Amino acid sequence: MLSFPTPSVYQSSKCFVTYGVMGHLDPNQPPTKSKPWSTVAGQDFINRVELIIPQETSEVVRKILNEKAAPEFQRMVMSLHDILSGDFFTEYIKKGNVMMLSEGRKGIDNVFTFRNGILTMLLDKEAYERAGLVGKPDGVKGKRGLKPRWVVEVDLTSSSMVPGKKGFDRLIYASKNAFNTPVTWLFCNLSSTIPNPDPLALHSPAKYAAEPSVLQNIDAMLPTLKPPVDAIGPEGREELEYFSTELYEWLSLVRLQSPRIQVGDQVDPYLCRYQVPGDGQQGKICRLTWQGFLAPSWCREILLNLVAKLPSKSWFSFSTTTFSKGMAGDNSEISLFRPQGAPGEYVMWEIKSHE
């Protein structure tokens, strides 16, 4: 019919900076509920993880990573009906601990995600009306009545989600009638046991192991790696803002492999006026990158190990980026930096996209 383009207000991503103290790490009871651990574990699906460390600590980090490699993830083509029936349902969904993400851009296509036992479907109006499942409007006030999009959440691990029960039968009906096209899924098994025979083998998955790509011995100019003393308290807000902006800029340039941070870089000031802040210290740094379908619980464990096992005076920076949400393609990110010589402190940048 006549389609008017839906008006949308683009809001840029916002960055929240936290400068705090990590608290004592008890190896028997790793912390889960306090910041920064809860923010790291609270993200949904992580696409990239980047770690920047001084070169001297790279051996220690290598040992940590050998112990805790990233769980491998797989990509296959399945329909929603395949997930809800058969061995896959009983082994992986009901008993196992997995996370899955379907293809599609959120806000444009129909996207399905499965995490912590809850299947979330982000649907457009036609798919929602054809599915017949109860859901809530998506977006601020359901986009105020213009072609609303809908979110349907179903808890698949509950005891009422069993073939034969009404709620589950409605889900099966929807998967046969409204969602019967097969889509590509990313799948990650978070538990270490694999059921035998593997129900996933029917769909010929492509397996990927997330190996880090390592860049070593980068000769770099280092900025001041410790927040200024007067950054604490309400009077120090400006100081904190300057410090955190400059440090984040430097970390981003390292992540981008920019030549501007390297020793001996001479670029025409007409082209670029960037200078590394601080007093011109030099050092060697090492950068590791993981890209794939990663679990926030794994990220949290790596972070814990890093904090516990790296020498307490050395600094490091750890950042996780999620899959993009929404039409503008912005993703949200958490970067954590432990300052040099201050083992209990951290600076955290949370970048949240609008949708």
Partner 1 sequence: MESTSQSSSKNQPIAAVLLSRAHDPEETKRILTEKIQQRPLFLCPSSPPPSDARAARRREREKKRLSRKKALKPKPLSANERRKLGLYDVPRSGQKYALFEPLHQLWLGYIREILGNEIHTGGEGAASKLTSADFHGAEVEVVRSGCVSRVGLKGIVIKDSRFTFEVVTRRNQRKLVPKEGTVFRIEVPLGGVPTATVEEGQSDENKQQQQQTEAEQPKMIFEVHGEQFQFRSADRANKKFRSHFSKIL
Q: Give the residue with the Cβ less far from partner 1, 123 or 351.
A: 123
Strand partners of residue 26 = 29
The DSSP string of 150-186 is EEEEEETTSTT-SBTBHHHHHHHHHHHHTS-S-EEEE
Instruction: State how beta strands 316-322 and 333-338 pair.
Output: antiparallel
**What is the nearest approach in angstroms of partner 1 to the Cβ of residue 171?**
11
Q: Which residue blocks in 184-336 are alpha helix, DSSP H?
A: 237-255, 296-309
**What is the nearest approach in angstroms of partner 1 to the Cβ of residue 135?**
8
Interface pick for partner 1 out of 1, 9, 201, 229 (rule CB under 8 A): 1
Q: Give the residue with the Cβ less far from partner 1, 133 or 336.
A: 133
Q: Give the residue with the Cβ less far from partner 1, 174 or 221.
A: 174
d(CA 35, CA 348): 10
Which residues in the 126-185 window bind partner 1 by CB under 8 A?
126, 128-135, 170, 173-174, 177
Position 105, amino acid: R
Residue 273 and residue 264 in contact, taking contact as beta carbons nearer than 8 Å: no
Q: Give the residue with the Cβ less far from partner 1, 63 or 125.
A: 125
**What is the nearest approach in angstroms of partner 1 to the Cβ of residue 131?**
7
**What is the nearest approach in angstroms of partner 1 to the Cβ of residue 178?**
9
- Which sign does the torsion angle of CA 153, 157, 158, 163 carry? positive
d(CA 179, CA 197): 27
> What is the 8-class DSSP label of residue 249?
H
Per-residue binder mask for partner 1 (CB under 8 A), 94-133, x = binder: --------------------------------x-xxxxxx
Q: Which residue has the tokens 């574990």?
A: 41
Q: Give the residue with the Cβ less far from partner 1, 63 or 130.
A: 130
SS3 label, residue 117? coil
**What is the nearest approach in angstroms of partner 1 to the Cβ of residue 127?**
10
Q: Give the residue with the Cβ less far from partner 1, 170 or 226.
A: 170
Q: Give the residue with the Cβ less far from partner 1, 130 or 352.
A: 130
**What is the nearest approach in angstroms of partner 1 to the Cβ of residue 126?**
7
Strand partners of residue 29 = 26
In this structure, what token pair is assigned to residue 257? 């492999």
Which residues in the 178-237 window bind partner 1 by CB under 8 A?
none
**What is the nearest approach in angstroms of partner 1 to the Cβ of residue 325?**
25
Dihedrals phi, psi of 284, to nearest 5 degrees: -105, 135
**Binding footprint of partner 1 on the chain (CB under 8 A):** 1-2, 126, 128-135, 170, 173-174, 177
